[in-house]
Structure 1
Amino acid sequence: MSVPSALTAGLWARDESSPRTPTRRHYLMCPPEYFTVEYSINPWMDPDTPVDTDLAMAQWRSLKAAYERLGHTVEVVEPQPGLPDMVFSANSATVIDGRVLGARFRAAERAAEAEHFRRWFSARGYRELIMPSRINEAEGDFAWTGELLLAGSGFRTDPEAHAEAQEALGVPVISLQLTDPRYYHLDTALFVLETGPQPQIAYYPQAFSAGSLKVLERLFPGAVLGSAADAECLGLNGVSDGRHVVLPLEATDLAGQLEKRGYEPVLLDVSELRKSGGGPKCCTMEIHT
C-alpha cells in the first residue's frame, strides 16, 4: 500500500514547542437508551454483571455535553431496541472527505446496526456511500491521521478490509496487528491527538505485534506512550480536537503526559459504558469532511 512521500523523506516528528490548536469537529453519536450487557463478544463483557442503563445515559449525556462545550457539532442517531451496543457509533462507519465506508460486523448480535447507520447517511445526502464486503468495524479499527488511515486487525476487522478501505476512501492505509484480546479494536489501544501533515498519536505499545510496533515507532517517533494502567481503564480510547483530549476519568498517567506536552485533558466518568468494552471514542464517530 502506498505511503506519502513525507515518510520516505524523513519521519513525522512534531515540534513540541509549537502551540496546541483545537479544530472544530463533527461527531455522530447514539444514546444508550437500550444499553445492557446481554452477551459477551469481548473480554470486558460479563452478562452476569448488573448494568445501570440510567447511569450509562447520564455518562453519555456528559460526554456529548463536553463536546458541545468545546464547540463541536454533535449529531445523533436514533437508538433501536434489541441493539444494546448501538451506542458505540464509532464502529458503524468511516467518513473521509465526504466518502462513507459502512460497517460489516463480525458478531451476529451487532450486524443490524450497520443498516441503521447506512440509512442515516443516505437520508442526509451522502452519495459516495459504500458497504464493505469484508468484515470491517469502521473507526473501531480505522484511525485517520489526516495523511494515513491506520488500520487494525487481529480480532475484529479482516486484514483484507484494509485494501477495501483504501479503494473505497482513496487514502493510503497502514496495517497494524493487535495481539491482546483485551484491546480487540485499534481504538482501544491507539488514538490520534493531532491530524494534518505532522500528525501525533498516543498508543499502548504492548497491544501490538513486534512488526507493527516497529512501524509505529518509525512513523511516529514522538508519540505519547500509554502505560498498562492507562490501557486497563481504556484510556487509549480517547478523543482529541488537537488541544482538548477527552479521556476516561481513571487515565491519570496519560493525562499527566498530555499536560506536559501542552494538551488539556478532559476527564469523564464512562465506567458504566466500559462494562461493554467502550469508552469516549467508542461512543464517537467522527465525520471527517
Structure 2
Amino acid sequence: MPMRRALVRRPGPRLADGLVTHIARTPVDAGLALRQWRDYVEAMTAAGWDCVEVPPVDECPDGVFVEDTMVVFGDLVVLARPGAEVRRPELAAVRETVADLGYRTVAIEAPGTLDGGDVLKVGDTVYVGRGGRTNDAGIAQLRDFLAVRGRRVVPVGVRTVLHLKSAVTALPDGTVIGYPPLVDHPELFDAFLPVPEPAGAHVVLLGDDQLLMSASAPASAALFAGRGYRPVPVDIGEFERLEGCVTCLSVRLS
C-alpha cells in the first residue's frame, strides 16, 4: 500500500496564548502539549501516514491547528482565510509547503473568511459551518471552486462551538457523529449517530477500519468498536483546553 501523506505543524512557544471562544481558559502545559503532539504524529505514522511538517510559526499561538489553514480536494488545495485575523500569518508557509508538494492552489479572498475546521467532507457533499469563523462570502467562493468537481456544498449554522468539526465528524461509512447538545442542526445530515461524550464527536480516518480519536472519550470508542471499527486513542488534553481536537492537528492530503 502506498504511503499516505499528512501535514502537521508542531506547537509553538506561545501555545498557551491560543484563542479560546466557547470554553473557559485554563492553564496549558507547553511541554506536555509537545509530548502529546509527538504521540499524535507517531500514531499517524504507525498507521501508515507520512507526516510532513509545515515550518513552525512561533509568533502564532494557534499555528499547531494546521487543519484550519486549508481544505484539500484531490490535487486542489483551497487555502483558507481565517476568520480570526491574528491567524492569517499562518498561511504563508502552508502555501509554500503544498506548492512544493505539487498541489494546485486557490485561495479564499476578502471579504470571504473560511476556516478549514468548518469543512466536513462526506462523499460528494461538503458541509460548511457558518458562524464565528466562516462567513457567507467564504462559503460562496468555496462553492465556486468545487462546482466543476461535482461537489454539493451545504451550509450549516454553528453557534455553540468554534467550528463545525468541533461538533461533528463522520465515520468511514458516511455516518455523521456528534454529541447532541453541541450539534445545532442534526437534521441536515443524511445519517446521524449521537455519541455520549463531546470528544467522541471527533475522529480522523486512518484507513481501513482505524479511527484516531481522543483518549478522553472511552464510551464513544466502545460505541465505535461495537460497529466494527478499531479506535486508536491518543491523549490530546492540552489541545482540548484550547478548543482543539484530533482533526485540528493534521491535514490529510491523500
User: Out of 153, 156, 178, which is 2:158 matched to?
Assistant: 178
Deviation, 1:25, is: 4.2
Aligned residues of 2:3 and 2:48 also touching (Cα < 8 A): yes
**In structure 2, C-alpha distance between the alignment counterparts of 1:81 and 1:284, rounded to whole Å:** 17
What stretches of structure 2 of length at least 5 have no aligned partner?
none
Match for residue 215 of structure 1? 188
Larger radius of gyration, structure 1 or 2? 1
Residues 278 and 178 of structure 1: CA distance in aligned 2, closer, same or farther (over 3 Å): same
Match for residue 4 of structure 1? none
Match for residue 226 of structure 1? 195
Residues 61 and 108 of structure 1: CA distance in aligned 2, closer, same or farther (over 3 Å): same
Aligned residues of 1:45 and 1:277 also touching (Cα < 8 A): no
Residues 35 and 56 of structure 1: CA distance in aligned 2, closer, same or farther (over 3 Å): farther
**In structure 2, C-alpha distance between the alignment counterparts of 1:56 and 1:39, rounded to whole Å:** 13
More helix per residue: 2
Aligned residues of 1:141 and 1:153 also touching (Cα < 8 A): yes
Deviation, 1:167, is: 1.5
**In structure 1, C-alpha distance between the alignment counterparts of 2:182 and 2:28, rounded to whole Å:** 27
Question: TM-score, normalization: structure 2?
Answer: 0.89
User: Out of 201, 204, 213, which is 2:176 matched to?
Assistant: 201
Aligned residues of 2:37 and 2:236 also touching (Cα < 8 A): yes
Question: TM-score, normalization: structure 1?
Answer: 0.79
The one-character-per-residue Cα deviations of 1:142-201 (angstroms, maximum 9, x if unpaired) are 111232111111221113322211221332112111221xx210111111211xxx5233
User: Out of 26, 31, 56, which is 2:5 matched to?
Assistant: 26
Deviation, 1:53, is: 1.4
The one-character-per-residue Cα deviations of 1:83-138 (angstroms, maximum 9, x if unpaired) are 12111011010011111100111212211112221121123332x31110210001
Aligned residues of 1:176 and 1:208 also touching (Cα < 8 A): no
- The equivalences for 1:134-145 within 5 A come to 134-138=112-116, 140-145=117-122
Aligned residues of 1:28 and 1:89 also touching (Cα < 8 A): yes
Residues 31 and 249 of structure 1: CA distance in aligned 2, closer, same or farther (over 3 Å): same
Determine if the alignment matches structure 1 residue 93 to structure 2 residue 55: no
AA partner of residue 225 (structure 1): P
Could you tell me the percent identity over the aligned residues? 24
**In structure 1, C-alpha distance between the alignment counterparts of 2:102 and 2:215, rounded to whole Å:** 37
Aligned residues of 2:20 and 2:243 also touching (Cα < 8 A): no
Determine if the alignment matches structure 1 residue 279 to structure 2 residue 248: no
